[in-house]
Structure 1
Amino acid sequence: MDLDDLECVSSSDGLMDEDEDSVHARQRGGFIKKHGVGIGSIGIGLGTGVPSGLTPAAASVHELLECPVCTNSMYPPIHQCHNGHTLCSTCKSRVHNRCPTCRQELGDIRCLALEKVAEALELPCKYNSLGCPEIFPYYSKVKHEFQCNFRPYNCPYAGSECSVVGDIPILVTHLRDDHKVDMHSGCTFNHRYVKSNPREVENATWMLTVFNCFGKYFCLHFEAFQLGVAPVYMAFLRFMGDENESRNYGYSLEVGGNNRKIIWEGTPRSIRDSHRKVRDSHDGLIIQRNMALFFSGGDRKELKLRVTGRIWKEQPQQNLDSTSSSAGCIPTQSSLHLS
């Protein structure tokens, strides 16, 4: 893949505060579109509607615990107006201390009865429609959902802080159609990265390529950023799936020139780990600027790096001793070689 330059991509997606009329319109049954969501329209819907499998009594209590403004489940402190209408503490400031239902001034009244009732309620995980079978006490459910193995994945595209979430097929389609990411099939690759002025390094320079290999998808990142006061280039691979499954695969990256080369071998990190987390842990091939310019040859005024790589599937441990099984397997322990 020839690139004339590595461009900086950034945006400032954010949720703007809704004004009083917009929030009140929601209470009258109007539909309010979130501001700043951008291309998140293809993400799967995970609303906080009443979970399936509840008794009528439990379903009624669950509906009472739904905030009328943000529609999320309410947790202490739960506020109420003088007429008994409730809302969550987060939305109390969003509606400028006025009840979104009756428009009366909100005081500092807490609905202690509803908070107490919630303690006795047990609900299924909100990802039960995606396969999670767990049931939790009301106040323990959120902690589980934050790390539930069935929760949807965030978009792995790093350049725009994309808000889209979904399962892997949805995200692959989204990356191809909305982010125009290069898609490749195969377990080996050979990419050429070019930058006309390698001394201009910014923290928001990202490249992304997706590979379909062994029936799974992998994301190859290449970027430039400051490590202390020195600019560096980094390449690393992420697995589009959970962490346990990512350990079944290994990969290598190699870059070189002028009879020198650097090789990195490791295990791809799951996209559960954010792009920034992987980058800041330095879990990948890191190339110092001087070495990158040395590899580029010429007058050292232009970056021309060729990164090659391979993805493999690890063999079961009991087969590693046999010649036939280990022929295509490389140990996954991360290492950095300079030869």
Structure 2
Amino acid sequence: MAGLGAADDVMKSSDVDSTDSIFADGLGEELLSAMECPVCMEYMAPPIFLCENGHSICDQCRPQLSECPTCRRPFLPNTRNVALESIASRVQYPCRNEGCFEIRPLELVAQHQSACPRRPFPCPMAQGSHCTWKGPLSLIKKHVMDSHGRYVRIGAESTSVLNDVSDTPGYSLVIFAFDQVFLQKSRMQDSKFYSAVQYIGPKEHASGYRYEFQLSTAKGHQKIVVGNLVYSICEDLRQVNLHGNCVRLDHDVIKRYMYEDKLPYKLRLYRIEEDVL
């Protein structure tokens, strides 16, 4: 059966009352199903394209296909489903994350889902360990403790050692403090040492935390302390490093604190309202 499309008997955009919102819960699952792209299963936003039989597809999937995935007929060149686009702008969409009951317009639901506290989070160690686990924020600690326990620190203050700093492509630690989850990432690049702490959770909560990174010589005669803001895991870490919103030290500086290519350091997390010691 063709979706809401360009056939003569389908709804035209002029049939939709431009002043009334169409609520998904009132029109039922059938409408929401019609709004889903048959390929990626995401809700379709304008522009929405059509095949010869009136089936719709989103603009992200359309360039990847040569024929309609539903009926195998060709797509109509540069023909859009104006009726469905008009409806899409009026439907209230439910958040797809399990346990969340938020309902938003199309232009806001994707933004909400990307920051929804009930969204599935990837494993914090995924990049280095190729771990494919995903789950709710409430289960991250159990997963990381069970599967990556050697890369965990408990508490706001910790001492760690980076091995072979000169060749470190990237080093990660998961930190559980203040009943929250943080990720410290360190690396050497272009003769500079970078380290930053990111917050895993609602983006707006990240600004409530800072960290201090401390290096000291074996006898404690020399010390260097660098502090900075904690950034959300949603932030591009490359940009954080590029703009110096992190620990950024020349290799010539950190080598004074190294022992046999190992770099011991202390890290302290604290809430913004706490006094810095």
Quick check: TM above 0.5? yes
- 2:188 corresponds to: 224
- 2:226 corresponds to: 264
Alignment of 1:91-102 (within 5 A): 91-95=61-65, 97-102=66-71
Unaligned runs of at least 5 residues, structure 1 = 1-51, 316-327, 332-339
Amino acid of the structure 2 residue aligned with 1:62: L
Alignment of 1:10-21 (within 5 A): none
- 1:188 corresponds to: 157
Q: Is 2:185–2:197's contact at 8 Å kept on the other side of the alignment?
A: yes
Counterpart check, 1:309 vs 2:271: no
User: What TM-score do you get using the length of structure 2 for normalisation?
Assistant: 0.74
Report how far residue 169 of structure 1 moved.
3.1
Change (3 A) 1:77 1:222: closer
- 1:89 corresponds to: 59
Q: Is 1:79–1:111's contact at 8 Å kept on the other side of the alignment?
A: yes
User: What TM-score do you get using the length of structure 1 for normalisation?
Assistant: 0.62
Change (3 A) 1:274 1:150: farther
**Percent identical:** 23
Amino acid of the structure 1 residue aligned with 2:243: S
- 1:70 corresponds to: 40
Pairing partner for 1:170 from 139, 155, 159: 139
Q: Is 1:251–1:312's contact at 8 Å kept on the other side of the alignment?
A: yes
Deviations 1:232-270 (A, max 9, x none): 112332233334433444332211327322101233223
- 1:211 corresponds to: 175
Q: Is 2:68–2:75's contact at 8 Å kept on the other side of the alignment?
A: yes
- 1:14 corresponds to: none
Pairing partner for 1:142 from 98, 103, 110: 110
**SS of residue matched to 1:141:** helix
Change (3 A) 1:88 1:250: closer
Q: Is 1:156–1:274's contact at 8 Å kept on the other side of the alignment?
A: no
Larger RCO (alpha carbons 8 Å, 6+ apart): 1
Q: Which has the higher strand share?
A: 2
Structure 2 distance, partners of 1:120, 1:243, is 28
- 2:80 corresponds to: 110
Structure 2 distance, partners of 1:314, 1:111, is 50
Report how far residue 305 of structure 1 moved.
1.8
Q: Give the stretch that moved more between structures: 82-91 or 158-167.
A: 158-167
Q: Is 1:181–1:208's contact at 8 Å kept on the other side of the alignment?
A: no
Change (3 A) 1:282 1:161: farther
Aligned-CA RMSD value: 3.2
**SS of residue matched to 1:255:** strand
